[in-house]
Structures are given as structure tokens and as C-alpha cells.
Structure 1
Amino acid sequence: MGLCAAQGAGCAGRAGVSELGSHLADPALGLRGKLTERADLSKITWFRTGGPADLVYQPADEADLEAFLKALPAEVPLTVVGIGSNLLIRDGGVPGVTLRLPAKGFGEVDATGKGRIRAGAAASDKRLAAVALEVGLGGFHFFHGIPGSVGGAIRMNGGANGVETAERLVEAVAYDRAGDRHLLSRADMGYSYRHADAPEDLIFVSALFEGPAAEREAIRAAMDEVQHHRETVQPVREKTGGSTFKNPPGTSAWKEIDRAGCRGLRIGGAEMSALHCNFMINAGEASGHDLELLGETVRRRVFETSGILLEWEIKRLGRFEPGREVEPFRPS
């Protein structure tokens, strides 16, 4: 057996975690990033819940990320997380290594001229919108309303207020599991609504965006409108993960949730917001189990009411605690 058990089981207990940690900390590998054992992921998720990661690695820069990926044994599960805004970590924690790109090394946002901006994957979407305002580029205002990182927006074609990342992206830089670098064009990404066809093992580190010249007053007005919309119709001051489900074709997720009588529905400390019922919130001391069970209950009730099978927009990661598994709803 290798350093970790195969097939996603993660490190074999504390001994396996320590063995893997010792391997990655070997000075001969030359890694310069930060390695943390049994890291508390609840501190980074906006839900403020979930179990620990076996190991978390934060690379120092792109070259360090490449070296880390080449040093990581192939059998070790690797999970990539961003700033934790639309992320649900299960209570049993995350096996193997969790990779988190830090702002230092991956968070720069710079205007390159000719209507283009290059942004690191760890930069916030709000920062990208702010730089576009500074240099007078239009079409970036919607990023002001996405509470996430550039890497997440690239991966899932993040959008708001009727605009999507696909409309602004020129190309993206990513590394695969083996540490090889890739440059992907907009066409290579295979974008559709809240989805990209790019291989799941790609780790995005930066992207180049472009937009038309615009008056700063108009850009600021559009950003203010986005902010006003968020603050009036979304529970932005709650512990939430943003939109829980993707909008089905021809309708809105919140309308179907409301029609199914799930506005304000609560399981344990988890609740579908009464303000915007496609937002799931940690209304108390919700566990990851509470939140995921609530989501699957809503999916079942919506299907029973309208025949629509809602698709999760929030990413769910990690292991269930034994005896507290949540079965995904599947129509019979």
C-alpha cells in the first residue's frame, strides 16, 4: 500500500496522515508552501461547519505548486478549495490533501492594457470588478455580486445579474494532477450554464479577461445596482453558501422551492432562508449533515410538486460521519 489508501479513502488514520505529511515536508523535495495537518476547514467555509482536512497545502507560488503536484503520490486524493463561499464540507472531513491557493502568490489582479485584465485564481471576484472600474472596462460589474474567487468563477462559469464568466474570459492557466501546465482558450473551457467541460483534475491558477471601454460613472452605477439587489433580496449577513441549486430551464429554483412549501423549512440548525428560499443558511449550530439533508429534502419535495429535479450549485466535499450518511434523492 502507498502513503494513503486508494480509491478516495484518504490517509489511513493519524499514522497515514503523519507519514504523508513527513513525506511532503522532506527538505529534499524543496517545497516552500505551508503544510498543515488536521486543518479545521469550518473556519474557511461561509457555512462555518464541517470536519477537518487530513492535510492542507498552500503553495508559495506557481513553481511551488508544480513541484508539489509532481511530489504528491498518485494514490493520494487531492481536493481543491477556494475561499469557501459555495462549499459544504461534510462532518467526517476531507481525505488526503486539500489544496488551497493563497492570495500571496495567486491573488494579483493587474490590467495588461488593450482592454484586458489578468487575475490570479485566489483573487476575489469583487477585486476583479474593482480593477475593471479603476481602468474603465465595462462588463465586469457582475463580479461585484459574486461572493467567491476568480478560480471558482473560472471552474463553474460563475455569473450574476444575467452575465457569466464565459462572456469575459479570454484564456485560463491550469495545472493537471501530474503537475503539467495547460493554457485553455474560452472554447477549450466548454462553458454552459454554471458549468465547464474542462477536465475535473485541472487546477486553475490565473486567467486573462477582456471587456469594452466604458465610463467609470456607468460602471459604478452598474456595480451599485448589483450590490443593492444582493442586499435587498439575499440573506448576505447570514452564514450561507449562496445559491443552493442551479436554475432549471424555463424557471427559477427559488420559485419551485417556494411552490413546494420549502421557504423557511428547517432541519436541525439548517434552514432555507425566508428572504430568498434558494439560499440555505446555518441558522444556529448546523452540522454538515443538517445542511445536506435539508438540501436533499428540498430536492425531493420540489420533484414531488413539479416534477423538476433540482441540481446542486453548492459543492459538497468530504466524508460523512459513520451512521450519518445522506443519500442523494433519486426519482424512483
Structure 2
Amino acid sequence: MSGAALLAALGDRLGAIRGRLTPDADMAKITWFRAGGSAELLFQPADEEDLANFLRALPEEIPVTCVGIGSNLLVRDGGLEGVVIRLSAKGFGEVVRVGATQLRAGASAPDKRVAAAALDAGLGGFHFFHGIPGSIGGALRMNAGANGVETRQRVREVRAIDRRGELHILSVEAMGYAYRHSSAAPDLIFTSALMEGEPAESAEIRARMNEVQHHRETVQPVREKTGGSTFKNPDGTSAWKEIDRAGCRGFRIGDALMSEMHCNFMINAGAATGHDLERLGETVRRRVHETSGILLHWEIKRLGRFAPGHEVQAFVA
């Protein structure tokens, strides 16, 4: 179904919705890879209430996918069925101090903005967010981390809306955090988080943020069309070391390649398609397993349908 047809079929159900609805939205404009197909219908809610009302009005059989700023997202060329929800900066991007040591961050707030707000508030422990190219919603979902600190160490409470439009408030224990993982129900759309730091001197916080920035700029291809770390680190080693050992530094399929600077970063060096990028990743997974016996697991989220005739077979050991 086309997005226009889906929107027409929903008819008066969405009459009270205040957010923005875009049929057949080009996801390549959203993802940092600048590749992939379209979403049948993209919805950007005005605020938490608008999101809840939309989900209550949406028929249960229509699939819903929530995305952030697209920094670690690979959309397949056949696009995304149903509704894609992307939280607006205006409705979900605020970061405010709510106590002596606490911030409330909206889910669409960029991680770097949270680090900056913590600096302004004199709160330590948030410096690692300065080096994560994503939003707080994604950080909550995957327990994002860097420089030896993880999101779960800062989270105290998370607000979320489920597929039926009901509000949930989850403790950090209820989030079920592990390495780059949360066991919170997959249908939950996180809207904000209460986060806690500790008092610190601004000069100390700024110095740690500068260390994060320097490290990122010197070892990562930050000015390329990339999705960040492609694979999770296996136990006892680093993904980049195993990729390098397998001879895949700089390995290329079309315009998709593994970075020469940091070979766990996949890059769109020109006009790579979602098919090119995913095929590159699966080829690297196979070669690493052939070399070291290690099975790499994707950290980049891959969503949507393959274009007809361009399916990518997942490597299975």
C-alpha cells in the first residue's frame, strides 16, 4: 500500500492528531547512511499526549516502528511497512534540571545536548554522551556507552507509551539492561528519562568532554556517511581487531566499505544502497568467523523489507 492510500484509509480516525503526517517519506534523508527505501507513513507527534492519542486511534494490524535521529540505522531498500514514528525535537527534545543532581531529558534530545546540559548544571558523569552520535531514546533502548560509562549508570526512571497508547513509568531495574541491550518491551516508545549525575567542577567536566571529543575525532571517521560501530564487541576482544585480523580493513562492495581509519565503521562512500551495506556487513561476519571462529553480532539496527531480487542472506555459523 502506498502512504497516500494508507493515510486515506485511516480517514477520520486521525482527525484530532496535531503532529505531522508524511506519506511515502524518504528514509534516506533521515538515516546517517543516506541510503534505504521509504516509510509508508511517517508520524512526528507534537507531544506525549499526541503520541498516545495517535496510537490509540491506529488499528492494531498496522505495524509501528519507532526511529531516532538515524545515526545507527540501516533501512533496507524495500522500505518500511505501516507507520514510522519519529519523535519531534520540539515536543521531545528538551533537557531540564529537575533537582540538585538530576536532569530530565526528552527522548529526541541528542546525546551531545544532554552532555552540554549537564556541564551547564555542574553535573558530572554525563561526559560520555558527548561522544555518542545519537539521541537519548536510542541510548535508552540499547544502553549506549562510551569511554567506560553506560547509559544505565545514569538512568533512574523512564517514561514510555505502549502500542495501545498507555503510559508506563519504568525503573532502571525494569529496563533490564545488559551490554548494548535493554529487555524492556519492544513496543514501548520511550518519551523521556530522569537521569542522575554528581556535582563536579565545570573545568573537570569540560576536560573529560574534550578527551572524549579528541578520541572520537582521531580514531573514528566522524565526517563520513556512517552508522557508527557496526558490530558489538565480542567477549574478550574488540570487533575491530577481529575485522582487521580477517583482512577486512578497507574491504569494499560497491560504494560500501569498512573504514580504513576504524574498521568497525561501515561507510557509504558514494551511492551505496541498503543492499550494498548489509551485504558488506554479512560478508565481514562470514570472513571473521572463518578467520577466528568468532560470530559478530550487529550493533547497527537493520529495518524494513528487501527490494525484490536483492535479499541478503544472514550469515549463520
Which residue matches 1:127? Answer: 113
Distance 2:4 2:268 in 1: 33
Q: How many residues align?
A: 317
Which residue matches 1:168? Answer: 154
* 1:177 equivalent in alignment to 2:177: no
Distance 1:123 1:154 in 2: 12
Which residue matches 1:202? Answer: 188
Distance 2:221 2:204 in 1: 27
Deviation at 1:23, TM superposition (A): 4.4
Deviation at 1:40, TM superposition (A): 0.6
- SS of residue paired to 1:204: strand
Runs of 4+ with >3 A deviation: none
State whether residues 259 and 265 of structure 2, in contact with CA within 8 Å, keep that contact through their aligned partners in structure 1: yes
Structure 1 residues 84-139: Cα deviation after superposition (integer angstroms, max 9, x where no partner) = 00000111111111000010110000011220000000000000000000010000
Letter in 2 for 1:164: E
State whether residues 251 and 257 of structure 2, in contact with CA within 8 Å, keep that contact through their aligned partners in structure 1: yes
The root-mean-square deviation of aligned C-alpha atoms, in Å, is 1.0
Choose from 219, 241, 265 the match for 2:205. 219
Distance 2:310 2:14 in 1: 42
Distance 1:27 1:250 in 2: 52
Distance 1:139 1:80 in 2: 28
Letter in 2 for 1:259: R
Deviation at 1:18, TM superposition (A): 3.0
Which residue matches 2:7? Answer: 21
Distance 2:72 2:195 in 1: 23
Question: What percentage of aligned pairs have identical amino acids?
Answer: 69
Which residue matches 2:26? Answer: 40
Deviation at 1:25, TM superposition (A): 5.4
Which residue matches 1:276? Answer: 262
* 1:53 equivalent in alignment to 2:39: yes
State whether residues 293 and 326 of structure 1, in contact with CA within 8 Å, keep that contact through their aligned partners in structure 2: yes
Distance 1:25 1:230 in 2: 48
Change in CA separation of 1:293 and 1:28 when aligned onto 2, cut-off 3 Å: closer
State whether residues 25 and 39 of structure 2, in contact with CA within 8 Å, keep that contact through their aligned partners in structure 1: yes
Distance 1:62 1:203 in 2: 10
Structure 1 residues 229-259: Cα deviation after superposition (integer angstroms, max 9, x where no partner) = 0000000000000000000011000000000
Letter in 1 for 2:24: R
1:108-127 to 2 correspondences below 5 Å = 108-127=94-113
State whether residues 25 and 35 of structure 1, in contact with CA within 8 Å, keep that contact through their aligned partners in structure 2: no
Which residue matches 2:299? Answer: 313
Change in CA separation of 1:208 and 1:40 when aligned onto 2, cut-off 3 Å: same
Unaligned runs of 5+ in 1: 1-12
1:196-275 to 2 correspondences below 5 Å = 196-275=182-261
Which residue matches 1:67? Answer: 53
Which residue matches 2:141? Answer: 155
Structure 1 residues 186-211: Cα deviation after superposition (integer angstroms, max 9, x where no partner) = 00001010000101111000000001
Structure 1 residues 238-289: Cα deviation after superposition (integer angstroms, max 9, x where no partner) = 0000000000011000000000000000001100000000000001110000
Change in CA separation of 1:25 and 1:223 when aligned onto 2, cut-off 3 Å: farther
* 1:190 equivalent in alignment to 2:176: yes
* 1:326 equivalent in alignment to 2:305: no
State whether residues 25 and 31 of structure 1, in contact with CA within 8 Å, keep that contact through their aligned partners in structure 2: no
Distance 1:98 1:144 in 2: 27
State whether residues 31 and 70 of structure 2, in contact with CA within 8 Å, keep that contact through their aligned partners in structure 1: yes
